[in-house]
Amino acid sequence: RWISLEILQPFLSKSSSSVVVESGAAASWKLTQRNRMFARKEMESIVFGELIDRTEPGDRYSWTETECERLMKSIRHMSDMKHMQYFLEMSSLPADYTAYISKPIAWGLCNDKLKERRYATIGEVVDDLRLIFANALKYNEGPRHVNVTSQSAYDSAKYMSQKLEAAIDKMLLSVGDRIGRERVDMMTVRRDMEAKQRERQEKMKKDWEKEHPGQSAPKQVKLRIFSRRGSMIQKKAHDFEFPFDDDDQMETHDDLRHIKKLYEKQRDDRRKCGEISNAIGLGVFKRLGARAAAREWCYSEARKIHIEQ
């Protein structure tokens, strides 16, 4: 449904009397602009809320980080340099930019944030890229009528904003399709695991009844803990984060090495945080002592002057 509404966009009708599909699967649908609007909202709610699988700075990007990088590069082509020259770096912004714009941002800053793994969701990347051109439109709205450069920057922001939205449409299709397929695969794996577990239980029950004829099999009480993605796992107490949802995924040497590296990094960060806190505390204590000594000296000098007078 998403792909048809996107690829066949030139053939969409404005009919509002047809059945509207707001979300989920549908047996049939019409190629209408309203259905495409709901399809886009549905994809945005799925894709923009997707957590980015953040790797360590300097490592190879994960697939979600690669999609974000591809989105950024889509508005950074050499053919767009005459338009993007106004939005590449923070240093290229006007001196009074912050007087009119509360959150100034440039393409280079977004790229640095992605390289430093400071984005948590795909939606945060999209919001920052949209903000680049929204800020430019707001800043140049007034001056563009009397300033040629402002008019050029305004037109460039309008053009690049449309190009960004077209790139976002493509990303919504690719990322949304992958997320949907992964969810289906996870549900299939979970059903297969549950089916195998039921088979084992039935086999154990039959074996027990053969060994104990005339007696009913004892009931087993099971504790199930479901993760955020729905996979059945047994949580264990650890003093570092697990980047996996299933214990079976941690059996490889690379996974264990990654966990160890993450734990050591967190331990070093806690140690550095403690050292910084101690240094700040000692500095504040010394300043308070110096201030108290200075006040005492001022009081003693004031008393001497008063006695002399």
**Distance from C-alpha of 170 to C-alpha of 155, rounded to nearest angstrom:** 23
Using alpha carbons only, what angle is made at residue 101 by residues 97 and 107, rounded to the nearest 5 degrees? 75
Please count the CA atoms within 13 angstroms of the CA of 185 that sit on its side-chain side: 6
Please, which pLDDT band fits residue 213 given cuts at 50, 70 and 90? confident
pLDDT tens column, 25-74: 666 667 888 888 888 888 888 889 888 988 888 889 999 999 999 999 99
- Supply the angle between the helices 122-140 and 148-211 in degrees, to the nearest 10: 160
Q: Which residues contact 231 (CB under 8 A, 6 or more apart)?
A: 186, 190, 245, 246
Structure tokens at 214: 């005339």
Give bridge partners of residue 13 from the DSSP assignment. 32
**Distance from C-alpha of 240 to C-alpha of 236, rounded to nearest angstrom:** 11
pLDDT tens column, 298-307: 888 888 888 8
Taking residues 219-227, report their average pLDDT. 49
**Distance from C-alpha of 156 to C-alpha of 133, rounded to nearest angstrom:** 9
Taking residues 62-91, report their average pLDDT. 90
**Distance from C-alpha of 286 to C-alpha of 282, rounded to nearest angstrom:** 6
Calculated CA dihedral for residues 100, 101, 107, 109, nearest 10 degrees: 120
Please, which pLDDT band fits residue 19 given cuts at 50, 70 and 90? low
Q: Could you tell me which of 188, 177, 170 has the C-alpha nearest to residue 50?
A: 177
pLDDT tens column, 98-144: 889 999 999 999 999 999 999 999 999 999 999 999 999 999 998 89
Structure tokens at 211: 């060994």
**Distance from C-alpha of 176 to C-alpha of 168, rounded to nearest angstrom:** 11
**Distance from C-alpha of 299 to C-alpha of 301, rounded to nearest angstrom:** 5
**DSSP result, 19-86:** PP--SS--S----BHHHHHHHHHHHHHHHTTPBP----TTSPP-HHHHHHHHHHHTT--GGGHHHHTT
DSSP H stretches of helix in 147-252: 148-211
Computed over every residue of the chain, the mean pLDDT equals 81
Please count the CA atoms within 13 angstroms of the CA of 301 that sit on its side-chain side: 6
pLDDT tens column, 233-264: 333 434 444 444 444 444 455 667 777 778 88
**Distance from C-alpha of 60 to C-alpha of 54, rounded to nearest angstrom:** 10
Taking residues 171-196, report their average pLDDT. 87
**Distance from C-alpha of 211 to C-alpha of 217, rounded to nearest angstrom:** 10
Name the pTM for this structure: 0.60
